[in-house]
Copies of this chain bind each other. A is one copy, B any other.
Amino acid sequence: MIDLIKTRRSVRKFRDTAVGDDELSAIIEAGMYAPSAGNEQAWQFVVLRGEALGEYLRLNGNVPRSAPAGILVCADRTREKYKGMNTAALDCAAATQNMLLAAHARGLGAVWTAVFDTAKDGVTALLGLPGGVEPFAFIPVGHYDGARGEVPERFDTSRIHYNKWQGARG
């Protein structure tokens, strides 16, 4: 597990090879096993391909264009149990991280991309999302194009504190 966590990289270049709905479904399943506030599971998922994917990319231009498919993770505020705490976003963030790991475990590349506030209304209209369901993040999924990035050293003990800020290990 820790090896998979450490070797996951954000993938932004994809080969022109299809990714089936079963693959995407398995990735989404991993998302559904994320923890959520009060087990509210305040998430929805929209698989985007073809024309819908193209329209999404036109509305929110920060996304690598070469992925054959992607998963839009949406916060479902109608399921939130604790109003005003934005727990749907936290549920979706945990689900998104599970999905990135699951894609990697399946040998697929993926990346967490933001849905900008300026694009949210357009995406909502494009996909016909109902009230309370808001685009949260978009995960392009595909096969790697070229070598995977090297694993950098990310462990930084200066970010770990003990019992107080800059407190030393006992």
Mark A residues whose CB is within 8 Å of B: 1-2, 4-6, 8, 10, 21, 25-26, 28-30, 32-35, 37, 41, 43-52, 85, 87, 89-90, 93-94, 96-98, 100-102, 104-105, 111-112, 114, 126-130, 133, 154-157, 159-167, 169-170
Contact = CB atoms under 8 A, between A and B. Distances in A.
Contact of A45 (B25, B96, B159): B159
A154 B1 contact: no
Q: Kindly name the residue among A34, A97, A170 whose own CB sees the greatest number of chain B CB atoms within 10 A.
A: A97
Contacts of A156: 32, 41
Contacts of A101: 1, 5, 98, 101
A35 B4 contact: no
Given A5-B101, A21-B170, A33-B6, A160 B41 contact: no
Contacts of A6: 30, 33
Nearest to A47: B162
A159 to B, nearest CB: 5
Nearest to A96: B94
Contact of A98 (B29, B97, B129, B130): B97
A61 to B, nearest CB: 15
A98 B1 CA distance: 10
Given A37-B114, A50-B163, 9 more contacts: A2-B26, A2-B30, A21-B162, A33-B154, A43-B159, A45-B160, A46-B163, A94-B97, A127-B164
